[in-house]
Amino acid sequence: MQPVKIGILGLGTVGTGTCEVLHTNAREISRRAGRDIIISHAATRTLSNVKLSNPGFKISDNAQAVVDDPEISVVIELIGGDQPALDLVLSAIANGKHVVTANKALIALHGNEIFQAAQQQGVMVAFEAAVAGGIPIIKAIREGLAANHIKSIVGIINGTGNYIMTQMRDLGAPFKEVLADAQALGYAEADPTFDVEGVDAAHKLTILASIAFGIPLQFDRVYTEGISAITREDIGFAEELGYRIKHLGIARHSADGIELRVHPVLIPQRSLIANVNGVMNAVLVDADAVGQTMYYGAGAGALPTASAVVADLVDVVRSLTADPENRVPHLAFQANALSDLPVMPIEQIETAYYLRMLADDKPGVMSQVTGILGTAGISIEAVLQKEPAANQTQIPVIMLTHTVKETQMNKAIEEIEALPGISGNVTRIRVETLDHD
């Protein structure tokens, strides 16, 4: 069969890695795809930054020329961000070209529009590399678990945040110090906001939830909370109580709708996901037929991400001659069968809580706190009360509660913070046992 010619938009870390994998494993890839795959044209913003020697294909700074090239059948978008990626992808689709992308923001924010355009043109848009780097989690949920009703997905889906939380625990170092270390090592960007405030993880969770539950992509409905307020004291207290703090994405199908949330969570030390450290990613899927399955591996990096990009490319090439109506749907469910299940606001979520407060070391203060919790219908599972430091009149008090609705906890915290014997704000971190739902 004739070779398939492809174009690449972006020759940064992942783009260069994709070229390397396609070159190094060309024979294996050809055997799997059923025909040779040839890079015909690549575009990059800055030609002087290209790190490929003797690439064997055209390189320019004109991305639109790649999209408009009539010989190219598949466009691989590795630019990242909203624009010009969106315009280029829609242009490629309008030109009848298939698209492979690693751009989680593009899919999370504009996927509904992109997939509709692709369906109208009879082309494929593949995006395995958009979530968890080299871990084939999209394929696992969309195809491997197609027989299941998926109940929940819980994941460490941002390696930068996981590295920071791991280092804070292992070194006893504060957040700012560990963040600076992560930036020096290249794990965190100069502007780390997307990673440490949960935006990157929310993009990925949006995609996973859509595939798992058959709902439209709804990034704006994801409750998002970062890790910048987590202290080494919180990490230490959690350890004493038998927990670890992880920054998780949680998507859960409940009786009232879909939970979509990204925030720090206390999870039992014994759980597998609690022991995923450094920059690694892991996704725990709970489904009715298969039970719990976990997917672990490198969530970023040139070659792991390129692995997912090229795997998508092989899938696209295999399907080039297939009837568009018989291809695997973009979001796992047929486009006309997506559900209108509501996404629940965070106030309706039910979970347990870790509470830390600074209390006056005198009689009556704790009875006031427990009285407020009792009135709100919140029962206490465990309490840690530390001795005051020398010349100090206040002590840290840590509580674990049983499961309660967030609205009840919000009201209780507001009342506790108003007590004269409590100083400052109450720190609240949600708790998940990760038992079968």
Q: What is the pLDDT of residues 62-98, one digit of tens each?
A: 999 999 999 999 999 999 999 999 999 999 999 999 9
Residue 19: its pLDDT value, please?
Answer: 95
More confident residue, 359 or 393: 359
Q: How confident is the model at residue 436 (pLDDT cuts 50, 70, 90)?
A: low
Residue with tokens 């002590």: 395
More confident residue, 134 or 386: 134
- State whether 315 and 256 are in the same domain: no
The answer, yes or no, to whether residue 337 has pLDDT greater than 80, is no
For 284, residues 6+ apart whose C-beta sits below 8 A from its C-beta are: 153, 154, 155, 272, 273, 292, 293, 294, 434
| Over residues 191-210, mean pLDDT | 96
Residue 89 counted as domain residue: yes
The answer, yes or no, to whether residue 388 has pLDDT greater than 80, is no
Q: How confident is the model at residue 51 (pLDDT cuts 50, 70, 90)?
A: confident
Residue 177 counted as domain residue: yes
- State whether 123 and 166 are in the same domain: no
- State whether 363 and 309 are in the same domain: no
CA separation for the pair 159, 384 (Å, rounded):
31
Q: What is the CA radius of gyration of the chain?
A: 24
| Over residues 388-411, mean pLDDT | 90
Could you tell me the CATH number of the domain that includes residue 421?
3.30.70.260
Nearest to 285 by CA among 343, 211, 335, 198: 211
Residue 35 counted as domain residue: yes
107 to each of 218, 426, 434, how far by Cα in Å?
A: 10, 37, 28
| Over residues 260-287, mean pLDDT | 96
Active site residue 405: no
* Active-site residue, from 139, 204, 246, 362: 204
Residue 344 counted as domain residue: no
Residue 436 counted as domain residue: no
CA separation for the pair 191, 214 (Å, rounded):
34
Residue 346 counted as domain residue: no
- State whether 282 and 157 are in the same domain: yes
CA separation for the pair 389, 395 (Å, rounded):
8
Q: How confident is the model at residue 323 (pLDDT cuts 50, 70, 90)?
A: confident
CA separation for the pair 247, 79 (Å, rounded):
26
The two three-digit tokens of residue 66, written as one number: 């790649």
Q: Are 24 and 14 in contact (CB under 8 A)?
A: no
Q: How confident is the model at residue 334 (pLDDT cuts 50, 70, 90)?
A: confident
SS3 content of the chain, % helix, strand, coil (to 5): 40, 25, 35
3-state secondary structure of 360: strand
Tens digit of each residue's pLDDT (9 = 90 or more) over 244-261: 999 999 999 998 999 999
| Over residues 327-338, mean pLDDT | 78
Identify the domain containing residue 362 by its residue range. 351-431
| Over residues 235-246, mean pLDDT | 96
Tally of domains within the chain: 3
**Checking phi first, is residue 315 left (phi over 0); if not, alpha (psi -120 to 50) or beta?**
alpha
Residue 320: its pLDDT value, please?
Answer: 86
CA separation for the pair 358, 255 (Å, rounded):
37
| Over residues 201-227, mean pLDDT | 97
